[in-house]
Structure 1
Amino acid sequence: MSKRSKNHHYVPKVLQKQFWAHDEHVWYSEKDESGQYCAPYLKHVDKTFFIKNYYTVLDGDELSDVVEKKFYGSIDNYLGEIFPQIMGIFEAGSVPEFEGEALPSLINVIVEMIKRTPEFTRRYEDLAIGREVALDVLNQDESDERKQAMLALLQNESKLKELGRTVRVRATIDISDRMASILDGFSLRWAISETNHSYLLSSRIGYQIGNGGPNGLQNHNAEIWMPVSPKHALVLLRDPANRIPPKHVVSPMQMRKINEYAARNSNQIASHSQRLIESIVRKRAVLR
């Protein structure tokens, strides 16, 4: 039997690779308990953007990494294949296009990338979820044996967290018919930097932008931006008349706003550029 995976990256290393400063390291900063970013420092991508057992679920009475390996593993493998192709097309002077089934596949992956982050699920606390599930069973199940089991479970925080985490993870990877219908109307565009200005990588991964309205995807003006390299971002938007060109050149001012939004709404950020991340957190980098 293979060893159970415990270090679960919510920003996969295959995406972090596009933002390396050098030798599998990125310039990295995270917020402290007061919400302030620490001084940036170089950190190996094995140790960035991960939480132990974040996607571990219960399989019967045993802990399992099936979601991490099978579900998110397949997504990471897909990204590992598609990113080199995307970068190669840009380097050749063209703009990547996704047609047919390739487009909904990519859109689904982007949405799953955003959903996998702590920022997406931060309102759901595993212990609270587990306790709520146990209480629901206790109130509804008339079996004395089942009630005794739930009463015992309510006294065990570790087991409650395992149950709550399983419920959270299983719910996160589910796509409802309603969500699938909403995503069906999106098209793909690219937001490119042609100056020295670059995108940050953040723990939020993608950003929902409302363009003057709510940033929920029901808003027909809403967009999803996801940087895939320091110079390139995927943009999902609705454009039924196909009026928006496939490539949009981002101004330095717009780039700054995107980066500040990313930092403000994320708990960790990273960059290939020491200068960029210092300017965002307003602190000089340190050696660790």
Structure 2
Amino acid sequence: MSRRSKEHHYVPKVLQRQFLADGDFIWYSARDQSGSYCAPYPKHIDKCFVRRNYYTILARMMPSDIVEKNYYGDIDNYLGGVLPEISRALEQDRVPTFHGGALNSIRRVVIEMTKRTPEYASKIDEEAVGQRVVEDTLADLCDDMSDEERQSMQDVLHQPDRLKELGRTVRVRSIIQHSDEVNDALRGLSVHWTKITTHHSYILSSLTTYRIGNGGSNGLSNPDAEIWMPVSPKHALVLARNIEGRLPPIVVDPPHHVRQVNEHAARHSNEIASHSRKLIESLAGRGADTNRIEKMKGAGVLPSHW
């Protein structure tokens, strides 16, 4: 049996690698208990945008990493294959194009990246959800249970960790469910790209994708809604409705709008990262954590040139 995966990235390392500062490190900042961003510091991408057991579910009442390995593993493998091709094309001023099944795949992946983030499920109380599952099971199946089964279920109500496992299973399974309504809306979206021609750059955030309503709702029912996903410091993928072919395949993003996109990301995310120390400091609102950096260098975690 293979070892169960427990460290789950919601921003895959294949995407983080497009934003590296040096080696496998990226400038990183996360919100602290006060809600403010901590002083930025270099962090290895193995430890960035990751939570323990975030996608673990109960399968036959045992913890399973099937969603992490089979579902998100497939998405990460897809991105690992397509992102380098996209970067090469954009760097050469070629338009990455998608048609047929490839177009369906890229649209689907952008939506899955939107849903997999902790911000998407931030309002879910997993323990409360688990409690409702147990209570509903007892109410619906109580007469069909043996005394031993009934008592076992009632005991779970006094086990917070078990309730959280049940609630997490509900949360994960609900998020990976496909919706016919969403699929229909996706079919109306075409793929476009932005590029930055100045020294400005996009950041990477735990939000991963940004839904923009352009004056209306940011839901897919709004014909003017767009979904942005930065794929490198200089480029973003944009899903939008190209009514009457008015949208060009590649748009130059002006500096003031790049800043707005970054500020939106920082405002609605709990973690932000960048290849640029200066950029992440400006968005975190504070200078880098020099004490932490010196300790990391002294321990050999960071190279001396940092």
How does the TM-score come out when normalised to structure 2?
0.92
Matched, 1:166 2:176: no
After superposition, residues 200-219 of structure 1 pair within 5 angstroms as: 200-219=203-222
**SS of alignment partner, residue 189 of structure 1:** strand
Matched, 1:143 2:144: yes
Q: Report the CA distance between 1:92 and its aligned residue.
A: 2.2
Partner of 2:114: 114
Q: RMSD of the alignment, in Å?
A: 1.0
* Cα distance in 2 between the residues matched to 1:59 and 1:77: 24
After superposition, residues 31-110 of structure 1 pair within 5 angstroms as: 31-110=31-110
Partner of 2:13: 13
**SS of alignment partner, residue 224 of structure 1:** strand
Q: Report the CA distance between 1:148 and its aligned residue.
A: 2.7
Percent identical among aligned pairs is: 53
* Cα distance in 2 between the residues matched to 1:123 and 1:282: 26
Matched, 1:23 2:23: yes
Moved more, 197-206 or 30-39: 30-39
* Cα distance in 2 between the residues matched to 1:89 and 1:259: 24
Partner of 1:127: 127
Amino acid at match of 1:164: G
1:139-162 CA-to-partner distances (Å, cap 9, x unmatched) read: 222334353332111111111111
* Cα distance in 2 between the residues matched to 1:58 and 1:17: 31
**Number of residues of Structure 1 aligned to a counterpart in Structure 2:** 288
Amino acid at match of 1:254: H
Amino acid at match of 1:143: D
Partner of 1:175: 178
1:200-236 CA-to-partner distances (Å, cap 9, x unmatched) read: 1000000000100111111111100000000000000
Partner of 2:157: 154
* Cα distance in 2 between the residues matched to 1:135 and 1:182: 36
Q: Report the CA distance between 1:198 and its aligned residue.
A: 0.2
* Cα distance in 2 between the residues matched to 1:186 and 1:170: 26
Moved more, 43-52 or 149-158: 149-158
* Cα distance in 1 between the residues matched to 2:211 and 2:109: 15
Q: Which runs of 4+ in 1 moved over 3 A?
A: none
Moved more, 20-29 or 233-242: 233-242
* Cα distance in 2 between the residues matched to 1:75 and 1:206: 15
How does the TM-score come out when normalised to structure 1?
0.98
* Cα distance in 2 between the residues matched to 1:34 and 1:202: 19
Moved more, 112-121 or 152-161: 152-161
Partner of 1:277: 280
Match of residue 188, structure 2, among 172, 180, 185: 185
Gap runs ≥5 in structure 1: none
Matched, 1:261 2:264: yes
Amino acid at match of 2:70: K
* Cα distance in 2 between the residues matched to 1:188 and 1:242: 12
Gap runs ≥5 in structure 2: 293-306
Match of residue 243, structure 1, among 241, 246, 271: 246
* Cα distance in 1 between the residues matched to 2:154 and 2:185: 41
Amino acid at match of 1:181: D
* Cα distance in 1 between the residues matched to 2:247 and 2:126: 42
Whose radius of gyration is greater, 1 or 2? 2
Q: Report the CA distance between 1:100 and its aligned residue.
A: 1.5
* Cα distance in 2 between the residues matched to 1:118 and 1:125: 12
* Cα distance in 2 between the residues matched to 1:51 and 1:84: 26
* Cα distance in 1 between the residues matched to 2:252 and 2:98: 19
**SS of alignment partner, residue 26 of structure 1:** strand
Amino acid at match of 2:279: L
